[in-house]
Structure 1
Amino acid sequence: MFEIKTAQSNASSAEALWLDLQQQLAGQDYQFGFVMGHHSRIPLLADLPMCNYAAHWIGGSSCFGVITEHGVFLKQDSVAVLMIRDEDGHYGSASAVIEHQDIAKATQQALTQALQKAGRPYQVPELVWCMQPPGTEEAVLGQIEKLLGKKVPVYGGSSADDDVSGLWVQYDGQAIYQQAVVIAVLYPSVAISHFFHSGYIPTQHKGIVTKAQGRLLHEIDNKPAVDVYSSWLNKKITANYMQETTLTPLGSVIEQDQLDLPLYMLSLPIDFHSDGTIELFAEVEEGKELCLMSSETPRLLSRTGTMCDCARSVLPQQKVSGGIIIFCGACLLSIKEQMGLVYENVCTSLDGAPFLIAFTFGEQGYAVDQTNRHGNLMYATVLFGEDDADC
């Protein structure tokens, strides 16, 4: 039997939160739990026996709140869980604190323990889910790929707060962390499908990265990056960079020989430095082409429903038990008052099936070039079917 169920609470105390979950989950047992909520509420979980409901958990903080099939909860007081009952499946999760900036070691430790807990240490999972603090994503993905290879889809979202002030947290079913890697491995008994994309299109403005280091973009076409970017926008950004750049990020070209059109992974400018350097929320590589990307509010609002349609179309008989959806927190901040349309689109696409939408500061997924990637302003959708995975 495979079943997905969600529960949500706006409780301000651990006792009230536990009562809400008990009433909605009806004391049933599950194999896996996914939990997201506002950074002020997730810490309440540390005082609750969440392992009474499921042995394996992954989660963390979401920008402003969450959305489920029951409604939009973005008033900075919500927590939501998505529970999977799958008696024929196997699941495992584990965490490791990042010590001395050794992200690779923490990732290896968390992944190895998750595989052991799933009882499948020598079998690659159908899907890996990761949760980590912003700034660690590329290293986490690189280490997962090193251990499991390139063909295992890795999805996730970096923990978030409301304003990039560093209040984000991660959760593993027992404890709360601010600098930890939490990894879940999934071997579901049903088919899964997934989709990772953005709601942005390229403009005519393009250039080559001639100097960069990690997430610091120094030069485009041998000119200060700030000057080039400002000329592309035809304006100089002077305040609140993230809100001003959300609709005009930079896109790195993904090589894909099978497609005629170039594909882009997005990087969001978050700070401009006096030396002409742009600080980004994702790494860029020297020698790669960058393009100024563009989007509009209607496209951002409709994209999640469209992605659910795409993911559902490849499930057996298009049957869906539910899904986990990652939505960029920066996109949320630019269209927060209109998120009811996103809710309606997803409900329609999934025919009322349970879902949880979380808002993250960095998105991870399996891109169309069959590579696990980290990007900004992206959407990630993982849907679970109803038929056996072997169908």
Structure 2
Amino acid sequence: MSGADTTRVLEELDSLAGDASTADFVFLFYGQGHDDTAIADFVRRRLSTAAVVGGTSCSGVMTADGLAGPDSIGMLTVADPDGAYGAASAPLGDDPAAAAEVALNAALDAADCSGELPELVWVFQPPGQEEAVIEGLRRIVGDRCPILGGSSADDDVSGRWRQLGPDGPLVDHVVVGVLFSSGGIGVAFQGGYEPTGASGVVTALGRTSDDGGSSATLDGRHILEIDGEPAVDVYNRWLGDTLDHNVVASGGNILEATTLSPLAVDAGKIDEVAHFRLIHPAAVTPKGGLTTFASVDVGTRLYGMRGDRERLVRRVGKVAAAAAASTSVSEAAGALIVYCGGCLLAVGDDAGQVARTAAESLAGAPLLGCFTFGEQGMLLGQNVHANLMISAIVFGR
């Protein structure tokens, strides 16, 4: 549902969802402009017994009917009395990995499944510390079950993103859900880009403090050099010298200019088909480095990638179909789609087709889609954080 009056939109959404108070697990996403107090009140009144996860989504949400607009709120409810579900949150603080551990253990306790391995772990956090969050979650579940989720987003990367947990909207928290479904869950996590043939090795990274002193650690999101040259010079050469020359010389934002030309790390092959963990360059630094929305290590080989609108629209259907085809799902009861907010902005006027393509792959099953500024999922058996990715969770009956 869409509209600027948060309370009214929630009431309309509640009437469409049936008796939401009987739900066991709820995904709830909304545009950045909505009133957190009204959302918190709705969660307390109508969803007090459910495990609730969600948060803000870039430009609102999507359903099978299309994009709902920046003032929209979307809710996907899971009623599964034979399953077990839990959700919890923790402030990220100075140790995001430890916070993730706390939230996951609390979610397992809420599901009355302490010490058990869930079918799926859901995670939602602000952009910036996703690798540490994944590390904390993996300390408990490793790669024995998929960790899937996203980084909360706003409409213009101004920092108005929030997370949503059982206690309502939050800022700078990690929210974790655990799902033990009786009907089975299928998941898929893919990107919609192909390699250009260009590649190079990271030879230097920046450090976490400006003075670069001995106390500073390497910053995996600040690539200083590729193959011994300034990173921006190598990257711009791969792009055919298309970056703004003033930005290359002095630094500046390149987020929009690089959405269809990201970097990537080779994650391995399935049936001789290469899969990649995508990395979105965000800015050029004054010293010729690149800042990114995902981390790399010195010695990592980076690949130049390319995509286009049509490929990004088609890919969401393939991802949804792959999740629905899981052996755990006999019939799709509903689905959640996580679609990168950068990809959404890149497809422009074709954005409405993203929802329709996903819906066609799910044969009429209800779906909710959110748009994120970072995506987490399982690639070739390893839980990772990446950018510009698409994922799907399909619930079986």
TM-score w.r.t. length of structure 2: 0.90
Q: Single out whichever of 102-111 and 354-363 deviates more from structure 2.
A: 102-111
Q: Does the CA contact (< 8 Å) of 2:184 and 2:329 recur in 1?
A: no
Matched, 1:370 2:363: no
> Does residue 65 of structure 1 match 2:60?
yes
Q: Does structure 1 residue 326 correspond to structure 2 residue 338?
A: yes
Q: CA deviation at 1:259?
A: 5.1
Structure 2, unpaired ranges of 5+: 206-218
Structure 1 residues 36-66: Cα deviation after superposition (integer angstroms, max 9, x where no partner): 1111126230232445334210001100111
Deviation per residue, 1:69-100 (Å, 9 max, x gap): 233212x201101000001000000001122x
Q: Could you give the per-residue CA deviations for residues 280-302 of structure 1, whole angstroms, max 9, x where no partner exists? A: 00001111110100011110111
Q: What are structure 1's unaligned runs of at least 5 residues?
A: 1-8, 387-391
1:254 equivalent to 2:261? Answer no
* Identical columns (%): 37
Name the residue aligned to 2:238.
232
For 1:284 and 1:104, the matched residues in 2 are separated by 18
| 1:317–1:190 Cα change, 3 Å | closer
Going from structure 1 to structure 2, the CA distance change for 1:270 and 1:42 (only over 3 Å counts) comes to farther
Distance 2:329 2:79 in 1: 21
Residue 245 of structure 1 is matched in structure 2 by 258
Query: Quick one: distance in 1 between partners of 2:65 and 2:224?
Result: 45
Kept in 2, the 8 Å contact 1:331–1:377? The answer is yes
Q: Indicate the residue corresponding to 2:229 in structure 1.
A: 223
Matches of 1:49 and 1:314 in 2, distance apart?
32
1:148–1:317 distance in 2 versus 1, CA, 3 Å: closer
Q: SS at the partner of 1:48? A: helix
The 10-residue stretch of structure 1 (173-182 or 106-115) with the greater mean CA deviation from structure 2 = 173-182
Q: Distance in 1 between matches of 2:275 and 2:329?
A: 29
CA distance in 2, matches of 1:137, 1:316: 28
Q: 1:214 aligns with which of 217, 220, 233?
A: 220
Give, in whole Å, the separation in 2 of the partners of 1:48 and 1:11.
16
| Match in the other structure for 1:361 | 373
Q: Secondary structure at the match of 1:214?
A: strand
Shift of 1:187: 0.2
Q: How many residues align?
A: 374
* CA apart distance, 1:382: 1.0
CA deviation digits over 1:193-214, x for unaligned, max 9? Answer: 1111100000111101111231
In the alignment, the residues of structure 2 paired with residue 178 and residue 157 of structure 1 have an alpha-carbon distance, to the nearest angstrom, of 15
Larger mean CA deviation between 229-238 and 83-92 belongs to 229-238
- Compared with structure 1, are the counterparts of its residues 143 and 51 closer, same or farther at alpha carbon in structure 2 (3 Å cutoff)? farther
> Structure 1: which amino acid aligns with 2:232?
V
Q: 1:21 aligns with which of 9, 13, 32?
A: 13
List structure 1 segments (4+ residues) > 6 angstroms apart after TM superposition: none
Cα gap change, 1:181 to 1:165, in 2 (>3 Å): same
Deviation at 1:18, TM superposition (A): 3.5
Q: What's the secondary structure of 1:310's corresponding residue? A: helix
Relative to structure 1, is the Cα distance of residues 299 and 42 closer, same or farther in structure 2, using a 3 angstrom cutoff? farther
Post-superposition offset of 1:315: 3.8
Shift of 1:177: 1.6
| 1:109 alignment partner, SS class | helix
| 1:44-59 alignment runs, 5 A limit | 44-50=38-44, 52-53=46-47, 54-59=49-54
Distance in 1 (alpha carbons) for counterparts of 2:295 and 2:262 = 13
Confirm or deny: 8 A CA contact 1:153 1:365 kept in the other structure. yes
Amino acid at match of 2:101: Q
For the structure 1 residues 126 and 206, does the alpha-carbon distance in structure 2 shift closer, same or farther, using more than 3 Å as the test? same
Alpha-carbon RMSD across the aligned residues, in angstroms, is 1.7
Aligned position for 1:288 = 300
1:303 to 315, 328, 331: 315
CA distance in 2, matches of 1:58, 1:16: 21
> 2:338 touches 2:370 (CA, 8 Å); kept in 1?
yes
| 2:91 is the alignment partner of 1:85 | no
TM-score scaled by length of structure 1: 0.92
Question: Retained in 2: the 8 A contact 1:226–1:276?
Answer: yes
The residue type paired with residue 4 of structure 2 is S
Taking the TM superposition and a 5 Å limit, the aligned residue runs for 1:20-169 are 20-28=12-20, 29-41=22-34, 43=36, 44-50=38-44, 52-53=46-47, 54-74=49-69, 76-99=70-93, 101-169=94-162
Q: Distance in 2 between matches of 1:264 and 1:378?
A: 10
CA separation of 1:261 and 1:156: change in aligned 2, threshold 3 A: same
Do 1:42 and 1:60's aligned partners in 2 also have CA atoms closer than 8 Å?
A: no
Return closer, same or farther for 1:16/1:184 CA change in 2, 3 Å cut-off: same
Single out whichever of 173-182 and 201-210 deviates more from structure 2. 173-182
Q: Which amino acid aligns with 1:124?
A: L
Q: CA deviation at 1:263?
A: 2.5
Is the contact between residue 189 and residue 391 of structure 2 (CA under 8 Å) also seen in structure 1? Answer: yes
1:38–1:65 Cα contact (<8 Å) kept: yes
